Copies of this chain bind each other. A is one copy, B any other.
Amino acid sequence: MINMGVISKLAMKTDTKIVMVVVDGLGGLPDPETNLTELESARKPNIDALMKKSVCGLIDPVGLGITPGSGPSHLALFGYNPLEHEIGRGVLEALGIGFDLERTDVAARGNFCTVDSEGRVIDRRAGRIETEKTKELCKLLEDIKVDGAEVIIKPGKIHRFVVIFRGEGLSGNVTDSDPQKEGKFPKTVEALTPDAEKTARCVNEFIAKAKAILADKHPANMLLLRGFAKHPNIPTMGEIFKLTPAAIATYPMYRGVARLVGMDVIPTGTTIEDEFRTLEENYGRYDFFYVHVKETDSSGEDGKFQRRVEIIEELDRSIPRLTALDPDVIIITGDHSTPARLKAHSWHPVPILLYSRWCRPDGISSFGERECRLGSLGRFPSLGVMPLAMANALKLMKYGA
């Protein structure tokens, strides 16, 4: 019952403002000692005060039981059906380093690796060589020419880089060269569909030439490519929702997803406080803000329950800056769950708080996973978040007579 085509027809430009705070991996699991999740354990007086004036519920990013990656879970929050729109990892990486991807480009994640004298991969990360070294090596590979496509190489952090193949008739439907395991040979890249044969040829030619150049550059004497993907060519949030959206995020990948859906990415610092200061400084210029809090996810993946609690408490200290701006709609939620006990993304539904002066407050006094199951928003797909935000900001016209 969430039809974004209909929402798009009803959307109208108004002066009201929406702020969506995405706390990465927000949903957690209870600590066996206290029986409280990370969110339930955190002292967060400001978020809880906002909760009393808000409605809440639980969202499923992609579907019941599905553990999503960051791409699909963010797309859903931004109003794009993640089962219809796929963002390949290569595209995410390219956008994340700020590369201006063209709509026909195919991008892949690359990393330098170490191979033995027979060509077997013995270290998939080439000893995690320094970022400076990666820049030097990418410089060397820049001059490689392949038949039928331009090749662009952009260094990333430590041993990582991005390769973009630019030209007509390219496709992302090719296999990885990365064997994923040490002790194996790099794989020949293969077309998964007939229209990808040219791409596979270009990529294999590039890899062969790079191999020759890198041969004497031990430990970075080879490279591996994976996650080939073409720009997904999706309509922008401006087109769909008639919003002028901006993203405030400290990490490249999230800035990348935001850019993909047409958000302006506003430069910011490295802390949550920096992000909310950036929000304050740019509040007049946009009508939709996506504010991303990263470390709840990374500390979840590291199994650091207490660190997750601390990040939520750190976020809470910045909430008065947000509420002082008095946005028409405030949403606090996550893209998915990353329980510290699981040390990984998970399928658990994610708590969501929605404040607007037009909501019927649920009378719930603390924002937590178990409280949210009692909220009036019920349990619904993340794809429904944008329609609700738009409605509460009075940005949707009536449907039918």
Assess whether A320 is interfacial by the CB under 8 Å rule. Answer: no
Assess whether A205 is interfacial by the CB under 8 Å rule. Answer: no
With A63-B2, A376-B379, A379-B380 already in contact, the answer to whether A68 and B398 are too (CB < 8 A) is yes
A399 to chain B, nearest CB (A): 5
Q: Which residues of B contact A173 (CB under 8 A)?
A: none
B399 contacts A68, C-beta separation under 8 Å: yes
Q: Which residues of B contact A68 (CB under 8 A)?
A: 398-400
| Neighbour of A67 across the interface among B1, B373, B396, CB < 8 A | B396
Assess whether A401 is interfacial by the CB under 8 Å rule. Answer: yes
Q: Which residues of B contact A88 (CB under 8 A)?
A: 401
B370 contacts A342, C-beta separation under 8 Å: no
Assess whether A324 is interfacial by the CB under 8 Å rule. Answer: no
Assess whether A115 is interfacial by the CB under 8 Å rule. Answer: no
Assess whether A26 is interfacial by the CB under 8 Å rule. Answer: no
Q: Which residues of B contact A347 (CB under 8 A)?
A: 388, 391-392, 396
Q: Mark A258-290, 1 if CB is under 8 A from B, else 0.
A: 000000000000000000000000000000000
| Chain A residues numbered 364-401 whose CB sits less than 8 Å from any CB in chain B | 369-370, 373-381, 383-384, 386-392, 396-401
A227 contacts B401, C-beta separation under 8 Å: yes
Assess whether A248 is interfacial by the CB under 8 Å rule. Answer: no
Q: Which residues of B contact A87 (CB under 8 A)?
A: 400-401
Q: Which residues of B contact A392 (CB under 8 A)?
A: 65, 347
Q: Which residues of B contact A10 (CB under 8 A)?
A: 66
Q: Count copies of this chain in the complex.
A: 2
What are 13 A-B residue pairs whose CB atoms fall within 8 Å in the complex? A6-B66, A7-B65, A37-B360, A58-B378, A63-B384, A64-B391, A65-B386, A66-B399, A87-B400, A227-B401, A347-B388, A347-B391, A363-B370
Q: Mark A300-342, 1 if CB is under 8 A from B, else 0.
A: 0000000000000000000000000000000000000001011
Q: Which residues of B contact A72 (CB under 8 A)?
A: 399-400
Closest to A56 in B: B373
B66 contacts A396, C-beta separation under 8 Å: yes
Assess whether A89 is interfacial by the CB under 8 Å rule. Answer: yes
